[in-house]
């Protein structure tokens, strides 16, 4: 497990949206799901996003699908990543899969904006 002080000092943390910091930092330190387990959860969460979008109160399903593809790219690169990079990738995917992270993902059209930023920032940092 990474110590909290080294997590907070990671250069990615400074780039994250303010509302994402607490959840992402916790996930960097504590997340343990395997890449396979994370990958299995993505379609389930996409269905929840689609349901919220269809009922007019959630974010666009297309944004959910874009973030999901970005998460899959992080997981596809798993074997090429060192331990710290794997922690970043895992935390980004876990963040996407949290309904209530920086804000409630399914409660408004902007609910996935922080998720999109987190996953994009991590992908850019890792070059994935």
What digits encode the pLDDT tens for the residues 57-96?
A: 899 999 999 999 999 999 999 999 999 999 999 999 999 9
pLDDT surpassing 80 at residue 6: no
HSE-CB at 18 with a 13 A cutoff on CA atoms is: 0
DSSP bridge pairs for 100: 104
Instruction: Give the start-to-end residue ranges of the domains of the chain.
Output: 4-126
pTM reported for the whole predicted model: 0.92
pLDDT surpassing 60 at residue 1: no
Query: Two tokens at 28?
Result: 């960097």
């Amino acid at each position: 497990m990474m110590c909290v002080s080294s997590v907070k000092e990671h250069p990615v943390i400074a780039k994250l949206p303010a509302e994402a910091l607490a959840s992402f930092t916790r996930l960097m330190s504590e997340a343990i799901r395997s890449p396979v387990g994370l990958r299995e959860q993505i379609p389930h969460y996409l269905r929840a996003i689609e349901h919220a979008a269809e009922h007019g109160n959630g974010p666009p399903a297309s944004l959910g699908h874009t973030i999901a593809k970005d998460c899959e790219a992080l997981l596809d690169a798993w074997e090429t990543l060192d331990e710290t990079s794997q922690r970043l990738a895992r935390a980004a995917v876990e963040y996407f899969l949290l309904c209530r992270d920086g804000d409630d993902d399914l409660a408004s059209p902007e609910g996935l904006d922080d998720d999109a930023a987190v996953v994009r920032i991590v992908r850019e940092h890792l070059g994935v």
